[in-house]
């Protein structure tokens, strides 16, 4: 289930305002053609300032005014930031991490398994759900929590839950557990389930990674718990969503390491995402495309943009026209909404300079007027553009356990790379995703449990942790004719990071036509061979050699006096194996070669001209042409179509010019 209507709006918090001005704000929203606000997930202490004393008057006032002005509501559960009286009464609700007990103040520092926390969270949630029933005609959906975290909880009680789950998983066989996790090393063997050691002290990377996987499962269970409560109150037309976020390097970057998003999204009817990105001359659209592809992957359907920036950080103040370009970039990825964090710039506390649509003077401004024009445009064309159906020939496999595995065991096998993000999982993944994006190859994200049969090419970045079932799935994909790209650090260990003890890559050497048993950190190592690789090997070199019988074809080797005998890129059949990390140009070179072999047409246009396509609700093809550049850019029309804005017919082969940060939208057949 997903909302039928296109949603355009923002988060709104009347309690953050210097004085109440709901009428003025809601009229401005309606004048900007907004139709939805997102409220309530941060307001527990407003509703229950003291234990057991409830005052929902501010919430009811917002709901009453929203109904008056014809605004839909997405209401969040007030569970991710709790009042101080709760931690005073029960300090154990605050997460205990490897650094000790967290101090009250920040959000998302809750042990979400704590029984006391859940007792009071359920009480305030049920009271809220009961009191808002008269407004069910405008409340279209519920948001579970907010960018949920486990807070890195490592307290005694939550570790007992972990130990019990391990006992159940291994059916009480402690010997099997110790063997699987290599607990003999440094005499770390667990003597009994009752005496399970504190994981904060472990030196065992497999056990640490398993605990992190457990914390991801805790979030999924927490979402299911919240959903169960909401299900008792919601109407059949009301959806449940969650605002999933991403890894952070100052902006949204890659897969979120602390949440198994595909699993957590089981509790959602439609997935939501929070996407933040640089603007001005640093705006590329890549983060929007990446976040949208993950959003689509979670329910194999459209998604909602529940948060994105209007102004955001001071360095992100958008150039004129960029807000429209960004919003259409979300829509072209299959989004059914564009919603901003948040309506107004607040005047105190942590996010004072994370600017909203309105500035601190709370008056209409350039962002407001530009978004008003976008709102009017989308109001007129929502059936043409919202909730596009997207299909791709290329997919990329994502894996939380591999992300954690490479955090635990960095590329050089030492502590030195920890915290060096250049060669972490998400950076390695983004090299391949960005190469696809810049070549205008729209790419899906998939997970090991997904059906892969519809894809022609599957890129497998850094799948360090690969179960036998996953390896069988990849073998099946290849045996059915799919083209596979294996990057460094693939198929090296099982799901518990236990390194496979046969030839690498495990279970795949007959398909790669090559193997290796040594690797090193490259220093000024170039390439030679039929591929036009111009850069240097980075991060790691896996010393691939063709097998003596039925070996692969070496497409590129190393230009080095000692490493020259090894393959940098080798192919057997439809499997292309890359033995090192490549720079942007060389990644694109290998990708182009694989796509050509798979029979996938590579568009003539490339970044900064970005082309995104979909099928609208009327069955029409829609093509967006974006120019992410300070300079005008030319584009040649590839098929007969109609300009959505002007209604003019356009012939195949016609040349158009896009203004800086400009766009065109075409309807075809």
Give residue 521's pLDDT: 94
**Nearest to residue 18, comparing CAs of 299, 349, 417?**
349
Give residue 420's pLDDT: 52
Q: Which residues pair with 649 in a beta bridge?
A: 642
d(CA 418, CA 429): 17
d(CA 308, CA 290): 14
The confidence band for 669, taking pLDDT boundaries of 50, 70 and 90, is low
Phi, psi dihedrals of residue 275, rounded to the nearest 5°: -120, 120
Given a contact cutoff of 8 angstroms between Cβ atoms, the answer to whether 13 and 43 are in contact is yes
Give residue 98's pLDDT: 87
Using CB atoms within 10 Å of the CB of residue 638, give its burial: 0 to 12 exposed, 13 to 18 middle, 19+ buried. Answer: middle
The confidence band for 578, taking pLDDT boundaries of 50, 70 and 90, is very high
d(CA 558, CA 522): 10
List, as one string, the DSSP characters of 444-469. Answer: EEE-TTS--TT-SEEEE----B--HH
Q: What percent of the chain has pLDDT over 90?
A: 93
d(CA 281, CA 614): 27
d(CA 118, CA 175): 35
Dump pLDDT digits (tens) for 595-635: 999 999 999 999 999 999 999 999 999 999 999 999 999 99
Residue owning tokens 């729209």:
442
In CATH, the architecture of 394-597 is 3-Layer(aba) Sandwich (3.40)
Give residue 422's pLDDT: 87
Dump pLDDT digits (tens) for 393-425: 999 999 999 999 999 999 876 654 454 578 999
Residue owning tokens 């004393």:
53
Give residue 63's pLDDT: 98
**Residue 516 pLDDT greater than 80, yes or no:** yes
Give residue 414's pLDDT: 63
Dump pLDDT digits (tens) for 182-225: 999 999 999 999 999 999 999 999 999 999 999 999 999 999 99
Given a contact cutoff of 8 angstroms between Cβ atoms, the answer to whether 642 and 650 are in contact is yes
The dotted CATH code for 7-32+242-387 is 3.20.20.80
Across the chain, what does the average pLDDT equal? 96
**Residue 3 pLDDT greater than 70, yes or no:** yes
Give residue 416's pLDDT: 41
Given a contact cutoff of 8 angstroms between Cβ atoms, the answer to whether 150 and 175 are in contact is no
Q: What is the 3-state secondary structure (H, E, C) of 226-265?
A: HHHHHHCCCCCCCEEECEECCCECCCECCCCCCCCHHHHH
For residues 617, 291, 349 and 363, what is the CA-based torsion angle, rounded to 10 degrees? -40
User: For residue 171, what are the CA distances in angstroms to 139, 164, 168?
Assistant: 45, 10, 5
Angle at 172 between CA 166 and CA 195, to 5 degrees: 70
User: For residue 289, what are the CA distances in angstroms to 299, 303, 573?
Assistant: 17, 13, 31
Give residue 417's pLDDT: 45
Given a contact cutoff of 8 angstroms between Cβ atoms, the answer to whether 428 and 405 are in contact is no
Give residue 412's pLDDT: 72
d(CA 427, CA 540): 14
Dump pLDDT digits (tens) for 464-501: 999 999 999 999 999 999 999 999 999 999 999 999 99
Phi, psi dihedrals of residue 145, rounded to the nearest 5°: 50, -150
Total number of residues shown for the chain = 669
Query: What residue spans define the domains of the chain?
Result: 7-32+242-387, 394-597, 609-668
The dotted CATH code for 609-668 is 2.60.40.1180
What the block records as the tokens of 137 is 């005609």
Give residue 40's pLDDT: 94
Give residue 549's pLDDT: 82
Give residue 240's pLDDT: 98
**More confidently predicted of 108 and 138:** 138
Identify whether 386 is preceded by a cis peptide bond (ω within 30 of 0): no
Which residues, other chains included, contact 261 with Cβ-Cβ below 8 Å and sequence gap of 6+?
A: 244, 255, 271, 294, 298
Give residue 216's pLDDT: 98
Phi, psi dihedrals of residue 664, rounded to the nearest 5°: -135, 150
d(CA 270, CA 337): 11
Strands (E), 383-433: 394-397
Q: Which residues pair with 623 in a beta bridge?
A: 613, 666
Phi, psi dihedrals of residue 627, rounded to the nearest 5°: -120, 105
Using CB atoms within 10 Å of the CB of residue 123, give its burial: 0 to 12 exposed, 13 to 18 middle, 19+ buried. Answer: middle
**Residue 307 pLDDT greater than 70, yes or no:** yes
Q: What percent of the chain has pLDDT over 70?
A: 99
Which residues, other chains included, contact 122 with Cβ-Cβ below 8 Å and sequence gap of 6+?
A: 229
* Phi-psi sector, 487: left (phi>0), alpha (psi -120 to 50), beta: beta
**Average pLDDT estimate for 565-593:** 98
Dump pLDDT digits (tens) for 354-392: 999 999 999 999 999 999 999 999 999 999 999 999 999
Which residues, other chains included, contact 618 with Cβ-Cβ below 8 Å and sequence gap of 6+?
A: 383, 384
Dump pLDDT digits (tens) for 162-191: 999 999 999 999 999 999 999 999 999 999
Q: What is the 3-state secondary structure (H, E, C) of 110-176?
A: ECCCCHHHHHHHHHHHHHHHHHCHHHCCCEEEEECCCCCCCCCCCCHHHHHHHHHHHHHHCCCCHHH
- The pTM score is 0.97
The dihedral built from the CA positions of residue 211, 212, 217 and 223, taken in this order, carries a sign that is positive
Angle at which helix 115-131 crosses helix 57-69, to 10 degrees, equals: 40
Given a contact cutoff of 8 angstroms between Cβ atoms, the answer to whether 482 and 456 are in contact is yes
**Residue 239 pLDDT greater than 80, yes or no:** yes
> In the chain, what is the greatest distance between 2 CA atoms, to the nearest angstrom?
78
């Amino acid at each position: 289930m997903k909302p039928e209507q296109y949603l355009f709006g923002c988060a709104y918090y009347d309690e953050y305002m210097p004085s109440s001005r709901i009428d003025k704000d809601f009229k401005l929203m309606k004048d900007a053609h907004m139709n939805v606000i997102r409220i309530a997930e941060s307001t527990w202490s407003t509703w229950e300032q003291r234990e057991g004393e409830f005052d929902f008057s501010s919430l009811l006032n917002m709901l009453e005014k929203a109904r008056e002005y014809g605004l839909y509501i997405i209401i969040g559960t007030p569970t991710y930031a709790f009042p101080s009286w709760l931690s005073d009464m029960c300090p154990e609700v605050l997460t205990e991490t490897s650094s000790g007990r967290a101090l009250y103040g920040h959000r998302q520092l809750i042990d979400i398994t704590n029984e006391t926390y859940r007792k009071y969270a359920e009480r305030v949630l049920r009271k809220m759900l009961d009191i808002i029933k008269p407004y069910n005609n405008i409340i279209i959906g519920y948001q579970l929590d907010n960018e949920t975290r486990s807070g890195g909880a490592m307290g005694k009680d939550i570790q007992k839950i972990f130990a019990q789950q391990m006992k159940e998983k291994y059916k009480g066989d402690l010997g099997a557990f110790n063997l699987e996790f290599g607990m003999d090393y440094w005499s770390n063997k667990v003597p009994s389930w009752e005496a399970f050691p504190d994981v904060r002290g472990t030196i065992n990377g497999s056990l640490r990674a398993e605990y992190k996987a457990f914390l991801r499962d805790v979030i999924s269970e927490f979402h299911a718990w919240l959903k169960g409560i909401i299900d008792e109150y919601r109407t059949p037309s009301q959806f449940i969503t969650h605002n999933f976020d991403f890894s952070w390097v100052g902006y949204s970057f890659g897969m979120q390491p602390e949440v198994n998003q595909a699993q957590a999204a089981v509790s959602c009817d439609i997935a939501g995402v929070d996407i933040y990105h640089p603007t001005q001359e640093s705006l590329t659209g890549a983060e929007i495309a990446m976040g949208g592809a993950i959003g689509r992957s979670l329910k194999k359907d459209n998604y909602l943009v529940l948060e994105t920036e209007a102004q955001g950080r001071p360095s992100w103040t958008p150039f004129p026209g960029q807000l429209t370009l960004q919003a259409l970039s979300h829509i072209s990825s299959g989004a059914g909404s564009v919603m901003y964090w948040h309506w107004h710039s607040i005047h105190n506390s942590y996010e004072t300079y994370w600017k909203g649509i309105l500035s601190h003077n709370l008056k209409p401004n350039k962002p407001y007027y530009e978004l008003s024009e976008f709102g009017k445009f989308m109001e007129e064309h929502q059936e043409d553009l919202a909730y596009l159906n997207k299909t791709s020939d290329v997919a990329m496999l994502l894996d939380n356990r591999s992300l954690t595995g490479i955090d635990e065991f960095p590329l050089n096998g030492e502590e030195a790379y920890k915290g060096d993000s250049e060669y972490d999982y998400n950076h390695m993944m983004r090299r391949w995703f960005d190469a696809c994006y810049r070549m205008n190859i729209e790419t899906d994200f998939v997970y090991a449990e997904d059906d892969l049969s519809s894809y022609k090419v599957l890129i497998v970045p850094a799948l360090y942790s690969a179960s036998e079932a996953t390896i069988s799935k990849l073998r099946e994909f290849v045996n059915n004719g799919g083209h596979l790209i294996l990057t460094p650090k693939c198929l090296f260990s099982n799901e518990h990071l236990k390194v496979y003890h046969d030839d690498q890559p495990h279970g795949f050497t007959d398909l790669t036509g090559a193997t290796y048993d040594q690797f090193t950190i490259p220093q000024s190592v170039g390439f030679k061979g039929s591929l036009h690789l111009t850069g240097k090997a980075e991060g790691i070199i896996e010393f691939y050699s063709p097998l003596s019988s039925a070996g692969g074809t070496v497409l590129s080797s190393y230009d080095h006096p000692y490493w020259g005998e090894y393959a940098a890129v080798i192919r057997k059949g439809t499997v292309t194996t890359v033995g090192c990390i490549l720079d942007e140009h060389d990644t694109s070179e290998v990708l182009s070669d694989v796509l050509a072999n798979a029979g996938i047409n590579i568009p003539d246009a490339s970044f900064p001209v970005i082309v995104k396509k979909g099928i609208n609700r009327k069955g029409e093809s829609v093509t967006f042409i974006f120019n992410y550049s300070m300079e005008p850019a030319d584009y040649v029309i590839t098929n007969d179509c109609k300009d959505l804005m002007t209604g003019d017919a356009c012939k195949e082969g016609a040349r158009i010019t896009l203004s800086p940060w400009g766009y065109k939208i075409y309807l075809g057949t």
